[in-house]
Structure 1
Amino acid sequence: MKNITTYQHKKVLVLGLAKSGVSAASLLHKLGAFVTVNDYKPLAENPEAQGLLQQGIKVICGGHPIELLDEGFQYIIKNPGIPYDNPLVAGAIKKGIPVLTEVELAYQISEADIIGITGTNGKTTTTTLLYEILSAGNQNPLIAGNIGTVASEVAQKASEHEKMVVELSSFQLMGIEDFTPHVAIITNLYEAHLDYHGTIEDYWEAKVNITKNQSEKDYLIVNADQEHLVEMTAKTNAQIIFFSTSKVLHSGAYINNGYIYFNNERIINLGSIVLPGAHNLENILCAVAAAKIYNVSNDAIIEVLTTFKGVKHRTQFVREWNGRRFYNDSKATNSLATKSALNAFEEPIVLLAGGLDRGNDFDDLIPFLKNVKCLVTFGETANKLKSTAELAGISFIYHVDNVEKAVPVAYTHSEKGDVILLSPACASWDQYRTFEERGDIFIEAVHKLK
C-alpha cells in the first residue's frame, strides 16, 4: 500500500460504522490521523465501536451530536448510507469540510489498478464475472466493494501486479474527490434510490461521477443502448468502449448472428453460455470488454462463460423439490431487477415480493406478471404489490409476515412444474439488515420444506 501522508496529524471524523467505517477508522489510525468515530448505535450494543476503542481510537456513540463540528475536523469519512441532509453532514459541507466515503481512501493507498463497476442493475454479476475471467486470464484480480470485503481493506494488501475489481454504489460515488478507476463500467441507468437522491437526475449524476477524474489513459465502458447514458458520458476524458445487446457496433462488445464479438473478433456462441437470462448479456458484454483491455485470451473468457452460473442472491437456483424449482433473487431491490428475473422464466411462477417502501408504486411490473399465477407479499409494500397484482389479473394473493413464512405458503399454492421465485422488487431494510440476510433466510426456509 502507498504510505500517504495526507491524513498525518489531521483530525478526521469517521461518521457511521458498519464494515466500511471500521476499515476506514483503522486505516486512518495507521496513517497517523487523529481519528474520532461517531456512530448512532449505543456503545454497549456496538461491538465494532468497542473494538476501535481498544485500538486507542476515540469513540462517541448513541447519536450524531451537531457539536462535533466545533472540534475542528479537517476531513469527514461518511458511511455511504447516511444521507447528505443529516445535520452533521450538511453542517460539515456548509463549513467547507471535505465529506468523503471510504472508497476515496482505497484509491489513495492502492498500488493496484482499480476497475470500478456501477449502474442500477447488474453490478454484482458483472463484478463477479469479471473477477473470474481475469483470474482465468492470470491477471491477479482482487474483488472488493459492496460485493464483499470493503475496498479500503483490500487496497491495503494490493500490489502493483494486481487489479482491484470494485463494485460501487451511487452513495459511495457521491463521496469522492480524486478517485480514478483505470477502467470504469456503467452497466445501465434507470430510476432508483430516489428516497436518498431526491431526483433521478441527481442519482444519475452520482453514478457518472465514476468517470469524472479519468484521463485519456483510462477507459470507460458504457451501454450504447441507453441514449441518456451515452449523452451523460460524452464529455469524459477517458477512452470510451461501447457495448450493445441490440445493435452491431463498429467497435466494442456486441452480439451478431448468435455470437459475442469484441472489436469485430468473434469470441463465443451464445448457446455455449450457461448464465441464464437475457438481462445477463449486458453483464457479460461489460466483462468481456474490460477483460480485453487487459488482453485476456478468448480461451480464458470462454472457459468462464461456459461454466459461470451466476451469483448468490441473483436469480440463484436453490433446489428442485417435488417438481418445483426454487430461485433466490433477493438482490432484486427494485422493479427493474424483478422484471429481469420474471423474464428469465417461461414456466408458471409463484412470486414472493415485498420490502422497504420508498414511495413508488409497482404498476410498471404489470406487463411482466403474465406468468405469475400467485403472489405472496410481505413487508411495508405488501398492500401496494397486492393492488398491482389485482390490476394484472392475478387471482391468488396472500400476505404473510416475512420471507420465512412466505415459503411454505408459496409451496402450498404451487404445482409440479412451477417456479417459486423470491424477487422482492424492494430493498430489505424494513425487516432485514441486508438483502443477503433476506436471501439466506429464504434458502434456509426452502430446505426446511417437508
Structure 2
Amino acid sequence: MKHVKNFENKKVLVLGLARSGEAAARLLTKLGAIVTVNDGKPFDENPSAQALLEEGIKVICGSHPLELLDEAFAYMVKNPGIPYTNPMVVRALEKNIPIITEVELAYLISEAPIIGITGSNGKTTTTTMIADVLNHAGQSARLSGNIGFPASEAAQLVTEKDILVMELSSFQLMGTESFHPHMAVITNLMPTHIDYHGSFENYIEAKWNIQKNMTKEDFLILNFNQDLAKGLANKTQAKIIPFSTKEKVDGAYLDGQMLCFKGQAVMSASELGVPGSHNVENALATIAVAKLSGVSNEVIRETLVHFGGVKHRLQALGNIAGVKFYNDSKSTNILATQKALSGFDNSKVILIAGGLDRGNEFDTLVPDIKGLKKMIILGESAPRLKHAAEQADVTYLDAKDVAQATRIAFQEASPGDVVLLSPANASWDMYKNFEVRGDEFITTFKSLKGE
C-alpha cells in the first residue's frame, strides 16, 4: 500500500457508513487523517459505528447536523448511495469541500494496476469473468468495488504484482478526481438511476468519468452495439478496443457462432457456461481484456466454458426431475429480463416475474414473453404484468411470494423445462433487496430437491 500524504493531519468527514464507509474511515485513520464519521442510523442500532468508536474514531450518529460542517473539513468521503441533493452534501459543496468516494482513496493507495468495469447491465458478471480468466492464467486478480469488496480495503492488500479488478457504479465514479485505471470496460449505457442523476445525460457523464484520466497508453473497451458508445469513442485519450455481436470490429466480435478477437477465433458462443445474448456481450468484453493481458485462447475458453454465473444473475441452480432452475433475481428492470429470456426457448420457460410497482407498463416486454409456457406473477406490479401476459397470449397464475411461485412453477413444469426467476422489477414491495428475494428462490429450490 502506498502511504500517501494527502490526508495527513487533515480533518476528513466520512458521510454514511455501510461497508465502504467503514473501510474508508479505517484507511483514512491509517493515513494520518483526523476522521469524523456521520451516519443516520442511531448509535444503539449501528454496530459499525460502535466498532469504529472503540477504535478511537469520532462518530456522530442518528442525524446529519449541518453545523458539523463548520469544523473546516479538508475532505468529505461520501457513501456512493447518498445523493448530491442531500443537505450535508449541498452544504459541503457550498463550502468548497472536495467530495470523493472511497474508490478515489483506493486508487491513491493501490500499488496494483486497476481494471475498472462499469455499465448499466452486466458489470458484475463481466467483472467476475475477467477476474476468473486472469486468475486461471496465473495472474493475481482481486475483485473489488461495487461487487461487495470495498475498494479501499482491497487496495491495502495488493502489490504491484497483483491486479485490482474493480466494479464501479455511476455513484462511485462521480466521486473521483485522479482515479486512473489502466484498462476500463463500459458494458452498455441505458437510462437507469435517473432519479439519482436527474437525467440520462448526467448519468452518462458520471459513467464517462471512468476514462477522464486515461491516456493513449491505456485501453477503453466499449460496446459498439450501441451508437452512443461509438460517439463517445471520439471523446477520450485512451485507445479504444470495441466489442460487438452485430459487426466485425477491430477488437472482440461475434462471427457466426464464434467469439473472435482481431481476426482470431477464440471459442464458440454455444460453449459459454451461462446462457443469453447479454452474456455473449459480457464474454466479448472479457476476451478483449484477457487478450490485452496476454492470456491464451485455451485458458479463456476453459474458463468461460466452466463459468457458472454470479449469484442472483442468471445463476444456474441445477435441476429437479429434468426441470432446470435459474435465479436471476438481479433482473430489476425490463431490459435485464429481456436479456435473460434471450438465452432460452420460450416454449419451455415458466417465468416468475413481478415486484415493486414503479408505474411503468410492460408493453416493451410483450414480444419477449410471447410463446412462454406460463408465467407466475407476484408483487405490486402484478396487474400490469398480467396485462402484458394477456397481450402476449401467455397464461399465468398468481403467487403471494417467491417461495409459493417457485413451488407452483415446479408443479406446472415438465422434464426439459426451465423455471426462471427474472422479475423485471425491484424487490422492495416484498423483500429488503434482490438478494433476499433470490435467496428465497434458492432455499425453495433446495427444499423441493430434498436438500
- Normalising to structure 2: TM-score of the pair? 0.94
Q: Where do residues 129-148 of structure 1 align in structure 2 (5 Å cutoff)? A: 129-148=129-148
Partner of 1:318: 317
Q: Does 1:309 align with 2:308?
A: yes
1-side partners of 2:161 and 2:176: how far apart? 24
* 2:269–2:280 contact (8 Å) kept in structure 1: no
Deviations 1:308-334 (A, max 9, x none): 232221111213224432110011122
AA aligned to 1:179 is: F
Partner of 1:161: 161
Structure 1 pair 387/53, CA: closer, same or farther in 2 (3 Å)? farther
- Normalising to structure 1: TM-score of the pair? 0.94
* 1:115–1:165 contact (8 Å) kept in structure 2: yes
Partner of 1:225: 225
Partner of 1:275: 274
Deviations 1:29-60 (A, max 9, x none): 11111111111111111111111111111111
* 1:195–1:358 contact (8 Å) kept in structure 2: no
Q: Where do residues 18-37 of structure 1 align in structure 2 (5 Å cutoff)? A: 18-37=18-37
Range that drifts further, 310-319 or 36-45:
310-319
AA aligned to 1:115 is: I
Deviations 1:397-445 (A, max 9, x none): 4141x32333223334444443211112223344434422321121001
Which portions of structure 1, spanning 4 or more consecutive aligned residues, are displaced by more than 6 angstroms? none
Q: Where do residues 29-68 of structure 1 align in structure 2 (5 Å cutoff)? A: 29-68=29-68
Partner of 1:81: 81
* 2:211–2:220 contact (8 Å) kept in structure 1: yes
* 1:353–1:424 contact (8 Å) kept in structure 2: yes
Structure 1 pair 383/21, CA: closer, same or farther in 2 (3 Å)? farther
Partner of 1:435: 434
Partner of 1:244: 244
2-side partners of 1:349 and 1:60: how far apart? 51
Partner of 1:345: 344
Q: Does 1:174 align with 2:171?
A: no
Structure 1 pair 64/383, CA: closer, same or farther in 2 (3 Å)? farther
Structure 1 residue 161, shift from structure 2 partner: 0.8
SS in structure 2 opposite 1:13? Answer: strand
Structure 1 pair 387/9, CA: closer, same or farther in 2 (3 Å)? farther
Range that drifts further, 78-87 or 374-383:
374-383
* 1:192–1:334 contact (8 Å) kept in structure 2: no
AA aligned to 2:354 is: G
Structure 1 residue 193, shift from structure 2 partner: 1.6
SS in structure 1 opposite 2:111? Answer: coil
Partner of 1:98: 98
Deviations 1:147-202 (A, max 9, x none): 23111110001100111101111111111111111100001111212222222222
Percent identity of equivalent pairs: 53
Structure 1 pair 243/441, CA: closer, same or farther in 2 (3 Å)? same
Structure 1 residue 367, shift from structure 2 partner: 0.8
* 2:371–2:394 contact (8 Å) kept in structure 1: no
User: Aligned Cα RMSD in Å?
Assistant: 1.9
AA aligned to 1:253 is: A
Structure 1 pair 261/323, CA: closer, same or farther in 2 (3 Å)? closer
Q: Which runs of 5+ in 2 are unaligned?
A: none
SS in structure 2 opposite 1:427? Answer: coil
2-side partners of 1:354 and 1:99: how far apart? 37
2-side partners of 1:233 and 1:91: how far apart? 36
Partner of 1:404: 403
Paired residues in the alignment total 448
AA aligned to 2:49 is: A
Structure 1 pair 87/390, CA: closer, same or farther in 2 (3 Å)? farther
2-side partners of 1:137 and 1:246: how far apart? 29
AA aligned to 1:167 is: E
2-side partners of 1:349 and 1:272: how far apart? 21
Partner of 2:254: 255
Structure 1 pair 445/200, CA: closer, same or farther in 2 (3 Å)? same
Structure 1 residue 13, shift from structure 2 partner: 1.2
* 2:386–2:396 contact (8 Å) kept in structure 1: no
AA aligned to 1:324 is: V
2-side partners of 1:376 and 1:70: how far apart? 55
2-side partners of 1:71 and 1:361: how far apart? 49
SS in structure 2 opposite 1:279? Answer: helix
* 1:324–1:417 contact (8 Å) kept in structure 2: yes
Partner of 1:3: 3
Structure 1 residue 359, shift from structure 2 partner: 4.7
Partner of 2:392: 392
Structure 1 residue 376, shift from structure 2 partner: 3.0
Q: Does 1:13 align with 2:13?
A: yes
